[in-house]
Chains A and B, each alone.
Chain A
Amino acid sequence: MSRTIQWIEIGTIIRSLGCCPSEGELHDLIADVEEEEPTGYIRLEKFLPVMTEVLLERRYRPIPEDILLRAFEVLDPAKRGFLTKEELVKYMTEEGEPFSQEEMEEMLSAAIDPESNSIHYKDYISMMVVDEN
């Protein structure tokens, strides 16, 4: 066991522990645990205290369901109850911390209603919450 991981895996680890940092917050955190001269590898002994603090301070809390719903509603000002595929793709790949093509495809595979080519976000959120539990 080398007790190191590659820096690109840090995000997966933190998120799997229930935290929801943004990409920006993630980069700051990685900078904290990297070596003086970055090798691409993070050592467990450096990561552990930082991660412990994150957990104890309850940083990067998950998004509550109602906030998530409101975020979708912001993107749907006409209050239709859905977003078209084009609209979702535009927002997710052009605004905020843009998705890669792979992330976009992945999200669409579960979110899209193939008949209407749109995302009924309220149902989508409920389904995702059930998935998790």
Chain B
Amino acid sequence: MGCGSSIAKKPRGSDKAIRAAMIIQNWYRSYSARLKVRQRYALTIFQSIEYANEQGQMQLSSFFTFMLENYAKANEKERELVTRIFRNDPQEKDREDYVKMINVPESYNGPRLQFPLTFTDIDLLIEGFKQQKILHAHYVLAVLFEAKKVLMQMPNVSHIKTFPSREITVCGDLHGKLDDLFLIFYKNGLPSEENPYVFNGDFVDRGKNSIEILMILLVTLLVYPNDLHLNRGNHEDFLMNLRYGFTKEIMTKYKLYGGKILKILEEVYTWLPIATVVDNEILILHGGLSESTDLNLLHRIERQKMKSVLIPPISPDEEDMIDSRKNKGGGRKGRTSVILSEQLLQHEWEQLVDILWSDPRGKRGCYPNKSRGGGCYFGPDVTSKILNKYHLKLLVRSHECKPDGYEICHDGKVITVFSASNYYEEGSNRGAYIKLRHCMAPRFIQYQVTKSTCPRTLYQRVNTIEGSAIRMLKERMIARKTDLVRTFEAHDHTKSGKVSLGQWAFSMESVMELNLPWRSLSAHLVNTDKDGKINYMSSFEDVLIQKPVKEVQSSIIETLCRYRSDLKIIFNVIDTDHSGLISVEEFRDMWKLFKTHYSVHIDDSQVDELANKMDLNKDGSIDFNEFLKAFHVVHKFDTK
């Protein structure tokens, strides 16, 4: 009994109107569903690429380990390099005096904070940021130093109570989206004794107001230390910030004192608590759990020793090897033992990584989180086991962007809350926060920040994010062009330039290593001829990588484009004074190590050539930002 046949019967009176209404509703729902699916595809693309980048991050981590392992075999130069990265600089103990010496000029018209801080300062700060003022470095540093002192007094896991009559608000990832924080405060009120908040990590990176968010949160913490709770997220990590934008934001906004701010920030991060427990029932932490999660251990560890997820602890064997080498070289005894005493034990470190990086999934058991490269996927059985073990009822976590701002899974035992709306692109997702009250079901409030006063239609929004996602995907494809073409050609025995859809999808999946619906996406990425065959080279027709130097091979260009983010981090790490310059020698040394570890087959001479060409003023130093910018993807028919 379909709608089609009924209309032919022409029932009378209001029945007719009902039938008509049903037709329109049916048609609209189908249209809307097809748009939503396109939106989902776009989100999947964004998310896959994001996680693949995080995976790359972990590879970088093993590269640093590799560097440490080769420490002993390394020459003087290389060892110095590694030491610079991993050793804490003891000379800057009393940097706090430095802050007092920084003058705030009369002409400064941004917020002026007064210590000890009060709620007035919170208001001043918010007002100032709404007017897009930049907080003076003097205040930023002062706040960071004070916050560090306060955080040092806090335990790894905070225990809070909501009864008798308080509601606690839990917010997820904000990622530098100040508008979302303003919206939350507008809807839910500012934090205070009556209005406690938990911010569940990832305050920074990606968005353009990470420092402002951090300042608001830390100032609020200083005013209401018992009512504002912060949990560390995987982005509260100085090496993650190098890649995901916060370091750049600071160096741009604070040209003179940025370096100092970054140094103290590193330490503040390590003192952020790891988790919060509400009413002895609800566990709040950033990522998730693993089979081996041991809350008692987590209460005890020295959390400040977790400098970065990219710096795993070196094992004792390496220590012996390094130590003996040291003694041979004469004199630098005990430096490595200093490094060792400053790091966590392997299993402690792994527990923390799990807490910060894991994701819940429907499948039972606990598996390494392949797509992110760190932490694990944990199933409903793991959740039950861990929650029961510690007599808890609910896990609230963040870490993953959800279309509706929150998601419940594992039979209601796990809630994901994500507070950055439009995270990937305008229209990509809503944000949400949770209200928790003793003996009541959690309440969810959703929102979405809109830039335009005139709301855009669903079609327009989907078009925007789909466009963005496809662009990103194409950029990734061009960086692997050589491998892709080789794979396609292997299927194309007649050298016709065409393969079947199945072969194309299979090749894409294996080379790109992204779990995406390739068949459905093919229409956006490649041309199909009238027989349904895929013309595989057509993907590369409208995208190319800018070649800064003509003589250099395409494969080098592609490699540099592909590993651009990793190289950026490595260079930034070498460049300890954040000058933006490294020496040509340092570049060559780093490249050699990188090449070996990543198994990249590039001729040394070609890289030398490149380095020399990039040393534009021939003074022996390379502006690596310029160097990396050179390898960007150009969209030929760009109308953006």
User: In the complex, what's the smallest C-beta–C-beta distance from A98 to chain B, in angstroms?
Assistant: 8
| A81 interface residue per 8 A CB criterion | no
B36 surroundings in chain A (CB, below 8 A): 12, 16
Q: Which residue of A lies closest to B460 (CB)?
A: A110
* 0 or 1 for each of A97-114: is its CB under 8 Å from B? (1 = yes): 111000100110110000
Binding site for A on B (CB under 8 A): 2-4, 7, 14, 16-34, 36-37, 361-363, 455-459
| A interface bracket (residues with beta carbon within 8 Å of B) | 35 or more
Establish whether residues B22 and A20, one from each chain, have CB atoms under 8 Å apart when the complex forms: no
Establish whether residues B4 and A95, one from each chain, have CB atoms under 8 Å apart when the complex forms: no
B23 surroundings in chain A (CB, below 8 A): 63, 67-68, 71
B29 surroundings in chain A (CB, below 8 A): 11, 15, 20, 23, 103
CA gap between A97 and B25 in the complex, in Å: 7
Binding site for B on A (CB under 8 A): 1-2, 4, 11-16, 19-23, 59-63, 67-68, 70-72, 74-75, 91-92, 95-99, 103, 106-107, 109-110, 128, 131-132
Establish whether residues B32 and A103, one from each chain, have CB atoms under 8 Å apart when the complex forms: yes
**Do A106 and B32 contact each other (CB < 8 Å), given the known contacts A61-B4, A63-B27?**
yes
Establish whether residues B37 and A16, one from each chain, have CB atoms under 8 Å apart when the complex forms: yes
B7 surroundings in chain A (CB, below 8 A): 67, 70-71
A92 surroundings in chain B (CB, below 8 A): 21, 24-25
CA gap between A105 and B33 in the complex, in Å: 15
Q: Of A1, A13, A95, A131, which contacts B459 at CB under 8 A?
A: A131
B20 surroundings in chain A (CB, below 8 A): 70-72, 74-75, 91, 96
Tally A-B pairs: CB < 8 A: 111
Q: Which of B22, B29, B457 has the most CB of A within 10 A?
A: B29
**Do A71 and B37 contact each other (CB < 8 Å), given the known contacts A1-B363, A2-B361, A106-B32?**
no
Q: Of B17, B26, B362, B455, which contacts A75 at CB under 8 A?
A: B17
**Do A20 and B27 contact each other (CB < 8 Å), given the known contacts A12-B36, A103-B32?**
yes
CA gap between A107 and B20 in the complex, in Å: 16
Sampled A-B contacts (11; CB under 8 Å):
A14-B33, A16-B36, A22-B22, A72-B20, A75-B21, A92-B21, A95-B18, A96-B21, A106-B458, A107-B32, A132-B34
User: In the complex, what's the smallest C-beta–C-beta distance from B458 to chain A, in angstroms?
Assistant: 6
B455 surroundings in chain A (CB, below 8 A): 109
Establish whether residues B33 and A16, one from each chain, have CB atoms under 8 Å apart when the complex forms: yes
Known: A20-B27, A67-B4. 6 other contacts (CB 8 A): A21-B26, A75-B17, A97-B26, A99-B25, A103-B29, A106-B32
Establish whether residues A63 and B458, one from each chain, have CB atoms under 8 Å apart when the complex forms: no
